[in-house]
Structures are given as structure tokens and as C-alpha cells.
Structure 1
Amino acid sequence: MNFKIPAVFAAALLVAGGLAFTAVSEDVRKLPESQAEVRLSYAPLVKQTAPSVVNVYAERTVVRSTIFDNDPFFRQFFGGGQGRRQTESSLGSGVIVGENGIVITNNHVIEGADDIKVALSDGREFKSKVMLKDDKVDLAVLKIDTTEKLPPLPLGDSDKLEVGDIVLAIGDPFGVGQTVTSGIVSGLARGNIGVSDFGFFIQTDASINPGNSGGALVDMKGELIGINSAIFSKGGGSNGIGFAIPANLAKVFIAAAERGDKAFERPYVGASFDAVSADVADALGLKRAGGAFITKVAKGGPAEQAGLVKGDTVIALNGIPIQHPDALGYRMLTAGLGSDVKLTVYRDGKEREVSLKLDRAPENPPRDERRIDGRNPFAGIVAVNLSPRVADELQMPGDNTGVAIRKVEDGSPADQLGFAKGDIIVSVNGTAIEDTKTLAQMANSDPNIWRVEINRGGQRIRQVFR
């Protein structure tokens, strides 16, 4: 069979060097043979998609302490104690996904902002409000304050991406203006990059720099297939390793915002999972390492009702192989609340299929939030009864029980004593704290000495206060 190597491939082989270089002869080089080859460009795709990418300006007020704030002498004569108020601003990118002005961006772009403005590619600016945000998946949905129709970018199917696919990254790096970079998909299902708890990123070598966060990763069909979120860099610049949140997760998040959800709820399974190492796979009789090994099943939860037991290994969801617990969490998250999924489970050397209903985490016991006041170590905290739903909101393991600290007011006695959000109050002066009512009663008991035991991230801490 005779065939010719296109000029673009020949150039790539020459750059690669080594054996590839010796395999290509000089006579393969040729001029473009058609007007279409001469005009080959990403420009039409950029013109189609760039108007949907916006700049997001976030302003927040912060309080800076001075030497007068912490010194009683200076406070007496010069005032202070309130700190110095300053305004900080940050710049990121966003993507219009609804013609009614719905924009998706990263949560870290707008976190703590008092005022958020969105600038279109043509320079016009609009105020916007937050519809939904979540720091765990690092996503936020904004609504632009306008009645005119805006150009949305269609959302693609990120599950169809393959390593090697060409992509464009569009955003506003360093605030220099809208910029387009090109690259390929370098990897899929990346995790542990330090920007959120989410562990299923798209990796690309398209240049991503500060300011690109929240911008668009676009495929060759002009569809949004990722939200640019982070880079791997020691110096702050692009080293060719960028990460984007898959569009399929963005779809679920946007749908939750449009429903008016106040929080982004994850499906509750009622089970804990661990990764399957090569040694564990060998012990279980699996042919290769991979899957999500069940280490604990909550009594009465969806997993138990579906027939899952400790020691099972989930190896697929709806026929899609599961390599890691993060992958299982991602697949359930994108399947959506209320759906039924088919899990392929490996148990005792055999595979079986299990149907699992994805539903919201239950709020049992009722949360019964209480703010603690008075002369006691807990003054200034908001305590709440732990349930699977509250545990998810506080980003804690779902099997925790008891009373947790939901909030600690700045400068309060509890804050000064070191109590923190997420602490579980186990006992006070030997009395087990099983609900917020008991905690409130103990806080009003006024003993001479307080002996407090808390659970912080699985570690028991005992303290004594006078």
C-alpha cells in the first residue's frame, strides 16, 4: 500500500528526533496543497466559544490586626481592638452556561467575596450574585444581573474524553486580557492536587496560569468539557501540567443551582471505602489492583439495604470500571440524587450485581442547633447534633455521632481556648454529651473546674479549664 505522510506529521516527527528522525526522508517535505491547508486555524473555534468566557472580579473586606489591638495599654489610650479594615480583590474567569446569565466558576475565585462583578469579553460589566457554591468540589454558580440574552457555551460529555484529544483553554491569566492556549488531554481521573477534596480531574498541557481559574476547557466541537482549576507549579507559572473539573460534574452542580438548592448534596451510601493495593488484590483473589474496598457499612443505610457487606469490593458502576474510591464517588455524584445505579461487586471469588438507590443523607437525629452563651468554655460556639447530613455539610465521616461544633465566633471564649469547627464534644465533667440539650445544660452548671473531652479528626483530646 502506498501513502504519503502529511507535512504536519513529518514536522512532528522531525521535532521528536531519534528513530523517528532517521525514518523520515527529506523528500517528504512539501508545500500545502490546498487553500484549506494554508488557512488551517483554531480561529473559527475561538470566535465561536470565546464570547462565552468572562472575567470574574471579587472584592472582600478583611480586618488586619495592629500592635494596638492586642496590647491593653495601647487599647486604653489609643483605642483599637477592631483591627484595620482593608479591601482585597481577586481576579478569575468564568463560563456562561445559560442565556439568562448563569455563570460557572471556581469557588476559590469568589470565596468570602462581598461584591462580585462579571465582565464580558466585549468589556461590559455586570453585578452578580452567588446561586450556589461548594468548596469541596471547588465550584460556584453565579447569576449575572441582566435581562438580555447572553451566549452560553454548550456542555459536552467529559466521559468521552481520551488522552491525546486536542483542547483549548480560555481565560484571563494574570489579568492581561482574554487569552487562548492549546494543548492535549494529558491524563484523566487525576487526584490529590491540593485544591479541593475532589479527585477526578482532567489533566492538560494547555498553558494555565493564575487568573485562568474558572475558565473554559473546550474540545474541538466547541463544547465545554472542563472548568480550569489549578496548575502544578513550584514557581507560580505554567509548567504544562494543568487540571480541570470535568463538565459532567459541572452539569450536576448547575442543575442543583437552578433547582434552588442551598447546598450541594452528595449521595449518601452509608459505607466507608478504601483503595485496593496489589497486596489486598492478591489476598482477595482479584486479577489486578483496583476497585473500592468496603471497610464499614452503616446500620440501616442504603448500602446495607442493598445487601453490601464489609469486605465487598466495588469494581464497576453501571458497567464503568472503578479503579479507586474517588472514581466511585465521582460516578455516584454525576449519576445524580434519586437515581438507581448498578454496582458490580466482587465477593468470595465471584462477581454479582447490586442495585443501589442514590438519595440524600438523612437528618436523624434532628440537628437542633444551639448557640452557647454565658460564663463557660463553650461560649461563642454553635453546636449541632450530628447526623449523616450534618456530617457531610461539615465534611466529616458520616458515621460520627454526638454533638459537633458548627461555628466558633471570632474572639469568643471558645475561640480563645482553641475550640474549632468540626470538633465533636464527647464529654463534660464526666457526663457524655449525646445531644445539644445536654451540652446546654452542662454549660449552665457553673462548676469550679471544667474537664472537657473532644474528638478532633479521630484524635481524643482532654483539657481542663478553671
Structure 2
Amino acid sequence: MFRSISTAVLTALCIALAACLNPTAAQDRRVPSSPAELRLSYAPIVQRVQPAVVNVYAAKVVQNRNPLLDDPIFRRFFGGGLQQEQVQRSLGSGVIVDSSGLVVTNVHVIEGADQVKVSLSDKREFEAEIVLKDSRSDLAVLRLKDAKEKFPALEFTNSDELMVGDVVMAIGNPFGVGQTVTHGIISALARTQVGITDYQFFIQTDAAINPGNSGGALVDMNGRLAGINTAIYSRSGGSQGIGFAIPANMVRVVVASAKSGGTAVKRPWLGAKLQAVTPEIAESLGLRSPTGALVASVVPNGPAAKAGLKSSDLITGIDGQTVDDPNAFDYRFATRPLGGTAQIDVQRSSKPLKLTIALEPAPDTGRNELVITTRSPFQGARISTITPAVADELHLDADTEGVVVTDIGDGTAAQNVGFQKGDIILSVNNQKITRTSDLEKAAKEQPRLWRIAVVRGGQQINVTLGG
């Protein structure tokens, strides 16, 4: 009797102490207080969520070219008949986020697909069209074709309110075995060294995630979408308890763009270059720890400049949320809605400041994007004049001039030569390249030698190729 009373008293004291330390969190979170609570089931949540999680099948037709076809004598006798088509298929997961039939998945699940199909939990299949692809976040939005009903959809949670230790469930189609539910906790927030998307700010979970789970749902205990499962850390190819999900607040931004009819996601533009705070920089600034985002440069007449941000300012927060590094700022700034303002906390010469910055997109006039089709080393390259919007997308300095490669076609001359996405073309045969029309004109010439100046990773490379 005494032991049971003591246990009850200790439990009550623990709960009371937790409430005193963090009253808001304690209202919603507590440890199990009895064996009966340990026997509770997740089944009601799963039953509510499962119908909104789907399987995504993508198919792409590729040409298997026989290398003998490069021999003109062989081609003369046999023609091109030995070139065969092969269908490559990929499998992933997705989440219905609107009752009209909008589905979110990962870009890498449907990249290059000629046909996309979505299979619901009740085994029905629908063809789907790609509404929007956002490579920067690795998120894509699909719409079910010929859908004349309302579908079960998941609501978004506010992923900024998630805490390490919260219980979550991952739902998807790992290895194509069928819809599978795993559970775990949030292991970490704001993971930045993952290297999957431009926005390095991931939810880490130990809920088992395996190949095929990409695009599936990470849900909280209220059955709301906390994130889109995207990647795993694995030495074997299977789950090792380290999975990553794109936070729901980023997913919400991409879905909103798709609903508004946009073909690309427009995000706020800061108009400044940020850098991480090293221990040496922290010491020179008199900081206790190397946190925050240091302003390296500011674009004249950009939103940051108009707000009064200056070089060497240290950004420590945005709208009341702490900023630990440039990745954290990029994510939080990118998830703010266009048209309003954001409050930025800044330290300038050890003095705290609050600046109000307008949330507006980067100027994008004059991009003039095109694909080089003439026979040249650039054939098959998609190029763009560098506008502030392009510089922001590719993480270039805003004052960068020239033409940048934004994509490379498979098997094209540009790929074979070695051009890469992000290469900046400065000049061709001593002709300065400032606009896409300049490179298009230069590509039509047939010189004996091509002398090309390229900037890659901040380093200039001079290349000479045969004509």
C-alpha cells in the first residue's frame, strides 16, 4: 500500500515539476502514468490517416542505343533498327493534401517521368498530371485525372511547434511491399548537413523509413501532416534509424503555389549574402557561441538594403524564432508568405536591433531561358541570363554577370563535353557572353577551335575544344 501511494505521489510531483518548467508544453505532453496507458493503440490515428497516403508509380521511356550505330558502315547495312526502347519505372509514396485530388510527393520520385499513376489505399488507380515541380525543396504536386469525388486529405500541422521526443508515424510503401506504418520519435530538428535540397532544414526521425517511403507522410499524434519523408542515412540500403523529412511548413508553401495556379514556387528574396559564424568570427565579435547568420554583402536597392541591413550585421532571429545559422534563416525566410513583412533580430556592434523587411520575390525580368540546339559543345544545354531570381535559386552572388547553365539534356553534346548545371559561361572565342542571345549566336558559328571561359564553384576554367 505504501509503495503504491509513494509511486503515485512521485508521478504527480514529476508532472507538476514538468508543468512548472514548461507550462505550455506540459499541457499536451506527459509520460505514461500507468501500465494501462502503455497498452493504448495507434490504430485510430492510422485508420484516419491511411486513406490519404498513396503509392506513386512513375514510368520513363529511354533509348538503349547500340554503340555500333556510331559506325557509319554498320549503320549503312543495318540502319537504326538495333536501337531499342526500354521503360524505366520508379516507385514512391505520396500524400493527398486537398480533397480535390492534389497529391504531394518528392521530385526525385517522378523526375523525367512520361507517365505517372497514383494508387489509393483502396487499390483504385488514377493517372496523374504533374502540376508543379520545385527542385529546390524536392517537392512535387500532382493532380489526379478524371477525379469526380472528394478524397480524404491530411491537414498540416505547424512544424515549427514540433519538439524533439514527440511521437510520430511514417506511412508509405517501402520496397513496394504495400502500405506500411512505422512509429518512432522526432530525433532532431533543423538538420542541415543532409545535402538533399537547397533548404537544409530537416526533421530527423527514428521511425523506420526505407526505399519506397520517399514522398510518404510523417504524421503527429493528431493525425496531421508533420512532414514528407525524403531520405534515409544508411550503409546497407535499409533503415538504420536515421530518416529525414521535409517540414510541413515548407510543404504548405509549395502546395499553396500549386493551388494558385503557379508553375513555379515564388519565395521572398532577401537581397543579401549570408555566411556561417565560425568560432574565430564569434570570438572577434565577442559572442559566447558561434551562432547566427553573418551578413557578408547586401544588394543595393534590395529588400535587405531597404530594411537597413548592413554588411557585418549578425542575424539572430526572425519573427521571434532563433536563427542558428544561414540554413535556418533561409528556411524560415522562405516559408514566410509573400506580400507582408518579417521582423529580423540583428546585432550590430554588439547592440540589438529589430529591422522590418518586405517579403517580395526577386526580380526575374530578362531571364530569356532557352535550349541550345545547334551543333556545338553547348548543344543540349538549357541556359539563362543571370537575373536576381536566377542568382538566388543557384546561390550565386547577386552581382554575378553572364549566362548560366540551368540544365543539361541526357546524352547531349553539352553533357559529353562535361558542362554541369550551375556553370557560368563568361566568353566564347574571346567574345564576352552577357545574355543568352550572345551564346546562341556564338553556338551557330563553326570555328576550328572553341575557346571557352567558364566559372565553376567560384573558379574560372579555360577550355579549348576541337571544332
TM bin, normalised by shorter chain, reads 0.7 to 0.9
> Paired residue for 2:264?
263
> Paired residue for 2:356?
355
Deviation string 1:186-234 (CA, Å, 9 cap, x unpaired) is 1100122233233111111111111111111111111111111111100
Count the aligned residue pairs: 440
In the TM superposition, what is the alpha-carbon distance from 1:415 to its structure 2 partner?
A: 4.6
Distance in 2 separating the partners of 1:373 and 1:106: 30
Distance in 1 separating the partners of 2:384 and 2:62: 28
In the TM superposition, what is the alpha-carbon distance from 1:282 to its structure 2 partner?
A: 1.3
In the TM superposition, what is the alpha-carbon distance from 1:245 to its structure 2 partner?
A: 0.9
> Paired residue for 2:455?
455
Deviation string 1:104-147 (CA, Å, 9 cap, x unpaired) is 11111111111111111111111111111112211111111211
Give the letter for the 2:144 counterpart. I
Contact 1:273 1:294 in 2 (8 A): yes
In the TM superposition, what is the alpha-carbon distance from 1:388 to its structure 2 partner?
A: 1.3
Residue from 4, 7, 22 that aligns with 1:4: 7
Q: Secondary structure at the match of 1:69?
A: helix
Contact 1:68 1:79 in 2 (8 A): no
Contact 1:312 1:346 in 2 (8 A): yes
Going from structure 1 to structure 2, the CA distance change for 1:181 and 1:373 (only over 3 Å counts) comes to closer
Counterparts of residues 143-158 of structure 1 (less than 5 Å): 143-145=143-145, 146-158=147-159
Distance in 2 separating the partners of 1:374 and 1:110: 29
Deviation string 1:239-258 (CA, Å, 9 cap, x unpaired) is 11111111111111110110
Going from structure 1 to structure 2, the CA distance change for 1:144 and 1:446 (only over 3 Å counts) comes to closer
In the TM superposition, what is the alpha-carbon distance from 1:93 to its structure 2 partner?
A: 1.0
Give the letter for the 1:335 counterpart. R
In the TM superposition, what is the alpha-carbon distance from 1:412 to its structure 2 partner?
A: 5.3
Give 5+ residue unaligned stretches, structure 2: 12-32
Give the letter for the 2:401 counterpart. T
Distance in 1 separating the partners of 2:293 and 2:427: 35
Counterparts of residues 285-434 of structure 1 (less than 5 Å): 285-364=286-365, 366-369=366-369, 372=372, 377-393=377-393, 396-408=396-408, 413-434=413-434
> Paired residue for 2:229?
228
Contact 1:75 1:81 in 2 (8 A): no
Q: Is 1:245 matched with 2:249?
A: no
> Paired residue for 2:176?
175
Distance in 2 separating the partners of 1:38 and 1:322: 37
Going from structure 1 to structure 2, the CA distance change for 1:300 and 1:79 (only over 3 Å counts) comes to same
Q: Secondary structure at the match of 2:332?
A: helix
Give 5+ residue unaligned stretches, structure 1: 9-29
Going from structure 1 to structure 2, the CA distance change for 1:378 and 1:212 (only over 3 Å counts) comes to closer
In the TM superposition, what is the alpha-carbon distance from 1:422 to its structure 2 partner?
A: 3.0
Distance in 1 separating the partners of 2:299 and 2:188: 35
In the TM superposition, what is the alpha-carbon distance from 1:449 to its structure 2 partner?
A: 4.2
Going from structure 1 to structure 2, the CA distance change for 1:441 and 1:128 (only over 3 Å counts) comes to closer
Distance in 2 separating the partners of 1:446 and 1:117: 45
Distance in 1 separating the partners of 2:447 and 2:108: 44
In the TM superposition, what is the alpha-carbon distance from 1:61 to its structure 2 partner?
A: 1.2
Contact 1:69 1:81 in 2 (8 A): no
Give the letter for the 1:179 counterpart. T
Distance in 2 separating the partners of 1:236 and 1:421: 28
Distance in 1 separating the partners of 2:77 and 2:338: 59
Going from structure 1 to structure 2, the CA distance change for 1:345 and 1:120 (only over 3 Å counts) comes to same
Distance in 2 separating the partners of 1:379 and 1:167: 48
> Paired residue for 2:45?
45
Contact 1:68 1:80 in 2 (8 A): no
Across the aligned residues of Structure 1 and Structure 2, the Cα RMSD in angstroms comes to 2.6
Deviation string 1:305-327 (CA, Å, 9 cap, x unpaired) is 11111111100001111001111
Q: Is 1:284 matched with 2:264?
A: no
> Paired residue for 1:115?
115
Going from structure 1 to structure 2, the CA distance change for 1:46 and 1:455 (only over 3 Å counts) comes to same
> Paired residue for 2:134?
134
Compare 172-181 and 38-47 and name the one that shifted more: 38-47
Distance in 2 separating the partners of 1:418 and 1:383: 15
Q: Secondary structure at the match of 1:112?
A: coil
Contact 2:267 2:335 in 1 (8 A): no
Contact 2:268 2:336 in 1 (8 A): no
Going from structure 1 to structure 2, the CA distance change for 1:328 and 1:83 (only over 3 Å counts) comes to farther
In the TM superposition, what is the alpha-carbon distance from 1:375 to its structure 2 partner?
A: 6.2
> Paired residue for 1:192?
193
Distance in 1 separating the partners of 2:418 and 2:278: 38
Contact 1:182 1:206 in 2 (8 A): yes
Q: Secondary structure at the match of 2:87?
A: strand
Distance in 1 separating the partners of 2:416 and 2:86: 24
Going from structure 1 to structure 2, the CA distance change for 1:115 and 1:77 (only over 3 Å counts) comes to same
Q: Secondary structure at the match of 2:246?
A: strand
Distance in 2 separating the partners of 1:96 and 1:347: 46
Q: Secondary structure at the match of 1:137?
A: coil
**Superposition TM-score, scaled by structure 1 size:** 0.87
> Paired residue for 2:14?
none
Q: Give percent identity, aligned residues only.
A: 49
Distance in 1 separating the partners of 2:374 and 2:206: 56
